[in-house]
Amino acid sequence: MQLELGTRGIRPEELRRYLKSARRLEASMRAMLMGHIQLALANGLRGDNPFSDACLIAMDYGRTKIIKEDWKSIFNDDQLDHVLKQMLHLDHINR
């Protein structure tokens, strides 16, 4: 699988790690990724598709977590639960 989004984009090994850890099908991952790219392009080109509140929360979370040495911790269940609770305004997540 070849996925090229620039030098700072998603690398194939990270995509495979996500697919394995989140038990997602490749088609659903691609659809999610393309949806995010569409939103970013629409906003970047001054389109009419604004970021949702949940998206803004996820972007803030990403800025604080991803550009760090332990960025892979975002794949931990407790980290995913934490950001999903914030994005969806939940008190708790049952697993």
The per-residue DSSP string of 12-59 comes to HHHHHHHHHHHT--HHHHHHHHHHHHHHHHHHHTT-S-PPPHHHHHHH
Per-residue tokens: 65: 């977590």
Percentage with pLDDT > 70 across the chain? 75
Domain ranges of the chain: 1-49, 51-95
For the entire predicted model, the pTM comes to: 0.46
Tens digit of pLDDT for each residue in 44-75? 777 766 677 888 888 888 888 877 788 888 88
The residues, ordered by sequence, that sit 6+ positions from 84 with a Cβ below 8 Å of its Cβ are 90, 93
